Amino acid sequence: MTLALPATPARRYGIDFSKPVLYAFAAILIILIVLPLSWLLVYSLTDAKGAPTLANFVRLFSESSFLDPLETTFIIALCSAFFCCMVAAPMGWLVARTDLPFSGVIRALVTASFVTPPFLGAIAWELLAAPNSGLLNKIFRAVTGAEQDVHLFNIYTLPGIIFVISCYTFPYVFVLVANSLDRTPGELEDASSILGGGRWVTARRITIPLVLPALLAGALVAFLQAMTLFGSPAILALPAGFHTMTTKIWSLFQYPPKPELAAAASLPLLVLTVILLRAEHMILGRRGYSVVGGKYGAPRLIPLARMRWVAFGLCLTVLMLPVFLPYMALLNAAFSPVATTFLTWHNATMHNVEFVLFELSAASLALKNTVILGASAATCGTAIAVVIAYITARQAVKGHRILGFLATAPIAIPGIVLGVGLFLSYTRPPFVLYGTLWILLIAFVTIALPTAYQQLQAAFRTIHPELEDASRILGATRLKSLWQITAPLIRTGVIATWCFIFVGVMRELSAAIILFTSETKVISVLIYDLNESGDLGAISVIGIGMLIITFAVVITVNRIPGFGAIRLRSS
């Protein structure tokens, strides 16, 4: 007869640094988020001499120079959200619930518009619809014989800005609506049909109520994106002679700088963003229409009959606006002697490519800075996200819920607001980082953190903690278990997160435009500067290169098992 002895943990040798390391990462997270927001609040409540005051907010809500941009921003955001819903909801229904031909192609083209940087799209539409030199206006004058000063389109107007922003915002609504329709059980509509409900009765009483929360959430996201964009308004609104809130905040950093007014102007954007994101969470989390049950069948596709190809043609027509026409305009400008002349076999040239590669010295510096920052931000951001996601998923330290909140908090901070907060935080001792790549690195890591954290936390939840418990019973520390057991099991998620942060750095403009100097310029800022000088051919070459890299990364990552959707922040 043998006597079973209770298992005892194997003896650990050396010092366990797990707790100090985990708390160090938690401290880094707190500094990343709390420090810039604290200085933002302090500056908004002080005057130029540092004395406490509410005068900044009085000016903000009383002077027309601030009220007009606020009103313009609200109009742009509201109209963009409306038009996005009007276009994206029917497209989402056609793709998800009908026998639309080549629906996969439509989804892929929506992805193409999703990953196109909005500021690059705005420049492409400058090439297409500038009143005098736009390619579409040239075609109009050639066909109708109109005078040179007559134009069909003028992109430098409020409707033009709303149009361009809607082109690169509607994918948010499309994705939410299409995914919601994909998840709607077909049995519900079948039951309605069996009970005598016609197609429109079923849609009104079953389908629309189920998809309405996703549509409302999409409208809020579209409103939020349009409200916080900097690139498109800066490229199109400033030449037209008016500001939005983001461009107004940026202008307050021009000489002479007024950081206290910039801080005060940033807070309403921050507060409104938090409110909208909270509303989106409440809408998507509502339980008014919930599906109860286990497995369910796929939705029943509605036959379009003779309208199949008409619907497909309408979808392609819509996608011409954010994808086909802008991309053709960029290609035309890249290989034409003049950006706004039509490309032919006889005038095709490689001059713009050669200029960017061999003569534009700022391009090599910007590319070098972008690659360094992209690789560094992707590595640091992924490492921080892995540790914070591990802490919250395993409840490894006290206050893990607060860390989870802080990790997702930057999603509520518009890029231009974060740039202001970082500028105020790191232009004074003990952390004087302005003028170095470090301040841009902090900005890019902070912006990328919410998406990285959410992706990796979801990955951790798929790994049962018993594997780590077994490792710790055998003597491993928490850090060793994370490094040798858990991290290899979520490596696909880690790789995908790294790649998406790298791509996000290439696209980010809102924070970079506040924080860059001549020695720390990145590709997105270089494109903006070249647009200011009117060098559209060089912009097109750089933009096409950016798109090629972006699509290569997105296609590669989407081939990783478990990653079928992308999450990139616009700027």
Give residue-wise pLDDT tens across range 53-65.
999 899 988 989 8
Of 22, 11, 26, give the one whose Cα is nearest residue 403: 26
Q: Which of residues 415 and 180 earns the better pLDDT score?
A: 415
Helices (H), 158-306: 158-167, 170-182, 186-194, 199-202, 208-228, 231-240, 245-251, 259-284
Model confidence pLDDT, tens digit, residues 112-133: 888 889 999 999 999 999 998 8
When pLDDT is cut at 50, 70 and 90, the band that residue 205 belongs to is low
Instruction: Write the CATH number of the domain with boundaries 15-47+350-571.
Output: 1.10.3720.10
Mean pLDDT of 297-312: 80
Class of domain 76-289+300-324: mainly alpha
Q: Which of 275-289, 297-311, 523-537 has the highest mean pLDDT?
A: 523-537
Phi, psi dihedral angles at 170 (to 5 degrees):
-60, -25
pLDDT mean across residues, the chain: 83
User: Which pLDDT value is given to residue 420?
Assistant: 94
Q: For the chain, what percentages of helix, strand and coil (3-state, to nearest 5) are there?
A: 70, 0, 30
Mean pLDDT of 429-444: 90
Model confidence pLDDT, tens digit, residues 313-368: 999 999 999 999 999 999 999 999 998 899 988 899 999 999 999 999 899 999 99
Q: Bridge partners of 428?
A: 431
User: Which pLDDT value is given to residue 380?
Assistant: 93
Q: Do residues 406 and 412 lie in contact, with contact meaning Cβ atoms separated by under 8 Å? A: no
User: Which pLDDT value is given to residue 186?
Assistant: 60
The token pair at 138 is 């040239």
CA distance 366 to 356: 11
Model confidence pLDDT, tens digit, residues 142-154: 999 888 888 899 9
User: Which pLDDT value is given to residue 2?
Assistant: 45
For the entire predicted model, the pTM comes to 0.86
Amino acid occupying residue 323: V
Q: Tell me which of 17-31, 72-86, 462-476, 532-546 is least confident.
A: 462-476
What SS3 state is found at 98? strand
Q: So where are the chain's domains?
A: 15-47+350-571, 76-289+300-324
Q: Which of residues 544 and 558 earns the better pLDDT score?
A: 544
- Say yes or no to pLDDT of 166 above 50: yes
CA distance 387 to 141: 60
User: Which pLDDT value is given to residue 137?
Assistant: 94
Mean pLDDT of 235-250: 93
- Say yes or no to pLDDT of 203 above 70: no
Q: Bridge partners of 31?
A: none
Q: Do residues 80 and 223 lie in contact, with contact meaning Cβ atoms separated by under 8 Å? A: yes
- Say yes or no to pLDDT of 165 above 90: yes
Model confidence pLDDT, tens digit, residues 391-428: 887 776 677 778 788 888 888 888 999 999 999 999 88
